[in-house]
A and B are shown apart, each in its own frame.
Chain A
């Protein structure tokens, strides 16, 4: 009898909520997002509103740096200023407390979920990493970003340059798979070390004192820590703590592998224009202007490179060493009225549906989170990066997603920046010091 009573109550709540949505006319929801997601979301919002005229969706872009603090403040104060939002993968743990449990929500409003939503179609690691926190589903993957390695195909295929490279290094100019190989190629393409280089620098690296350095480190660290020897020592990283930690959740960077990664970064710096002072904006321009022959970057810049350097000249391969994940997911604010949650739910399921996932990749280069998109022949024909993406999604490294992550990021970036600049000694002691600070932050 109790169960029937509960079921009836649930049913009535749903009906009332749906009636509220219908009765009060347009429900207005606002979606806070980063500028990276804004274009796609705005278009999706427009399509969504065509099909759901009773819901008004407003997309509010806020710069990356300000998005997380704004979200955290709003969720802690339970002010409910935004109904839905995109959150960056590494802040999952920190914001999880304020996100609606979508698993429960889907059970409650099973009728609202589109028939073809197929939640199993999401790439499993992506769903786990950006959408789940400690077993609960709190977000739907929207932008499955990762880093790729872009290079000047025309220069790599130029017979004269290939000949010169062979003469100098005794091997063919092959597409690099490890950072050691990158180093030789970078040296070849840097005018200071090779007067005949067509570009002034070999590679555009970004090691600035921002969150960028935190993930750039993983590109190098991953090569050593995820190699068989590294796995033996540190274990396989889990998706909650990522490669910065060992399998038993201790800092992993204060190790031989960690030091090797920093050494590699330091070795590459002479072949890069101002690595300590360059961030995205700068390295992308360097590649655009032909100053460098190679650049590790996220998926987005590809469309820019196509129009500046030209599609024929831009080659793409998976990252030497390892790549790193950078996903965005859509979530619903827990502290808003039920009818708004329903409206928000409709929107985020729309925006992460199979159709949306494919369309936003084709139109806006928002990297796909669904397997169906990756397998779609139309998609594979339209974008040459899909094979590289498929490989990368499996092998990439991950940043921690725990609530302390932003703080850990900052102290780490400061130490790494100082090591690379030369004001802190390049030694295990420095890394151990850092590990100690990590323990302090985690312990509190």
Chain B
């Protein structure tokens, strides 16, 4: 079949990184020490558990996931309903998409300026309400809040887009039928729109979980993981270990394997909880 060679090429390009990652996680492979590797069994994995920074970065990533993602979902859904049918919908819609399109490195620069302690617009805006200057990059709690805020800013448009797309594709006759049956917009939402949107919301949730665990660019550009290890996301820590201070590939691979396992676990949990594998494009069942 026509697809086979392409698929084979693609698979081989993806299998190699996976295999390499697993292979090197069992080895001492550190470019700052030498180009040779050495088998050391599970030593890298054991080290993770005594690595305080790794644990803190895990905690912050969990915090990010637990706070930012639900906000993004709710806000995205809310905004989709908010602007539906409003005048100037198309322009508003286009504007709302912008944060999603801006490369993370660029948004990092923008937010770094916004969060400036002495001259940043955010602190200026807060000062209008009598709030004294906040150290967005230098205070542990505010730095965490700051990163969460950037994440919400960046990804809500994505959720918004998906839900909005979903809303657009709901056939009007279903809504009309419900209306004819005397339903007000509350019931229409609950019994027609929401159930139809539910699978889409789940897809958004899964995608956000996967991507949130990989958050790196915004931390790199703004707080650099500080103060202390307060805003270290897990992927940022992998970057530091695996690239920044000298390519400790073995340890970074072990950390990545862990990340992968957690990712898969979370996604499977979501799917299992909702038993919608099939509907979302997995499983071989034909409808």
Residues of A bordering B, CB below 8 Å: 65, 68-69, 72-73, 76-77, 94, 208-210, 273-278, 282, 285-286, 289, 291, 403-404, 406-407, 409-411, 414, 417-418, 420-421, 423-424
Q: Is B229 located at the chain interface by the 8 A CB criterion?
A: yes
CB-CB under 8 A from B140, the residues of chain A are 421, 423
* Shortest Cβ-Cβ A-B pairs, 9 listed: A209-B226, A277-B138, A277-B137, A276-B138, A274-B117, A406-B245, A418-B228, A274-B135, A76-B31
The 8 A CB mask of B244-267 against A (1 = contact, 0 = none) is: 111110000000000000000000
Q: Is B108 located at the chain interface by the 8 A CB criterion?
A: no
Q: Which residue of A lies closest to B137 (CB)?
A: A277
Inter-chain contact A286/B118, CB cutoff 8 Å: yes
* Choice from A77, A210, A273 contacting B118 with Cβ under 8 Å: A273
Inter-chain contact B246/A274, CB cutoff 8 Å: no
Closest Cβ–Cβ distance, residue A154 to chain B (whole Å): 21
Interface residues of B in 224-283 (CB under 8 A from A): 224-229, 240, 243-248
The DSSP consensus for interface residues of chain B is loop
Inter-chain contact A209/B224, CB cutoff 8 Å: yes
CB-CB under 8 A from A209, the residues of chain B are 223-228
Interface size class of B (residues with CB under 8 A): 20 to 34
Q: Is B86 located at the chain interface by the 8 A CB criterion?
A: no
Q: Which residue of B lies closest to A409 (CB)?
A: B245
Inter-chain contact A76/B138, CB cutoff 8 Å: no
CB-CB under 8 A from B198, the residues of chain A are none
Interface residues of B in 75-129 (CB under 8 A from A): 116-119
Q: Which residue of A lies closest to B115 (CB)?
A: A277
With A209-B224, A209-B226, A423-B228 known to touch, is A274 a contact of B138 (CB < 8 Å)? yes
With A277-B136, A406-B244 known to touch, is A72 a contact of B31 (CB < 8 Å)? yes
CB-CB under 8 A from A68, the residues of chain B are 246
A–B complex contacts, Cβ < 8 Å, 24 sampled: A69-B244, A69-B246, A69-B247, A72-B246, A208-B227, A209-B224, A273-B118, A274-B133, A274-B135, A274-B137, A275-B138, A276-B135, A276-B137, A276-B138, A276-B139, A276-B226, A276-B227, A277-B136, A277-B138, A403-B33, A409-B245, A421-B140, A421-B228, A423-B140
CB-CB under 8 A from B12, the residues of chain A are none
Inter-chain contact B227/A291, CB cutoff 8 Å: no
CB-CB under 8 A from B135, the residues of chain A are 274, 276-277
Q: Is B3 located at the chain interface by the 8 A CB criterion?
A: no
Q: Which residue of B lies closest to A210 (CB)?
A: B224
Instruction: List 19 additional contacts besides A273-B117, A274-B137, A423-B140; criterion CB under 8 Å.
Output: A72-B32, A73-B31, A76-B34, A77-B35, A94-B32, A208-B138, A209-B226, A209-B228, A210-B226, A276-B139, A282-B117, A286-B118, A289-B118, A406-B246, A407-B32, A407-B245, A410-B240, A414-B229, A420-B227
Q: A421 vs B227: C-alpha distance in the bound complex, in angstroms?
A: 7
Number of residue pairs across A and B with beta carbons under 8 Å?
A: 104
Inter-chain contact A291/B246, CB cutoff 8 Å: no
Q: Which residue of A lies closest to B240 (CB)?
A: A410
Q: A278 vs B227: C-alpha distance in the bound complex, in angstroms?
A: 11
Closest Cβ–Cβ distance, residue A202 to chain B (whole Å): 14
Closest Cβ–Cβ distance, residue B280 to chain A (whole Å): 39
Q: A210 vs B227: C-alpha distance in the bound complex, in angstroms?
A: 9
Q: A65 vs B105: C-alpha distance in the bound complex, in angstroms?
A: 14
Closest Cβ–Cβ distance, residue A321 to chain B (whole Å): 22
CB-CB under 8 A from B34, the residues of chain A are 76
Q: A418 vs B139: C-alpha distance in the bound complex, in angstroms?
A: 10
Inter-chain contact A406/B138, CB cutoff 8 Å: no
CB-CB under 8 A from A403, the residues of chain B are 32-33, 246
CB-CB under 8 A from A286, the residues of chain B are 118
Q: A404 vs B245: C-alpha distance in the bound complex, in angstroms?
A: 9
* Choice from A77, A208, A410 contacting B137 with Cβ under 8 Å: A208
Q: A406 vs B229: C-alpha distance in the bound complex, in angstroms?
A: 17
Q: A69 vs B139: C-alpha distance in the bound complex, in angstroms?
A: 29
Inter-chain contact A414/B247, CB cutoff 8 Å: no
Inter-chain contact A94/B246, CB cutoff 8 Å: yes
CB-CB under 8 A from B35, the residues of chain A are 76-77
Q: Which residue of B lies closest to A437 (CB)?
A: B52
Q: A422 vs B135: C-alpha distance in the bound complex, in angstroms?
A: 15
* Choice from B119, B138, B243 contacting A289 with Cβ under 8 Å: B119
CB-CB under 8 A from B224, the residues of chain A are 208-210
Q: Which residue of A lies closest to B35 (CB)?
A: A76
Q: A36 vs B99: C-alpha distance in the bound complex, in angstroms?
A: 32
Q: Which residue of B lies closest to A420 (CB)?
A: B227
Among B35, B226, B240, the one with the most A-chain Cβ atoms within 10 Å of its Cβ is B226
CB-CB under 8 A from A407, the residues of chain B are 32, 245-246, 248
CB-CB under 8 A from A291, the residues of chain B are 118
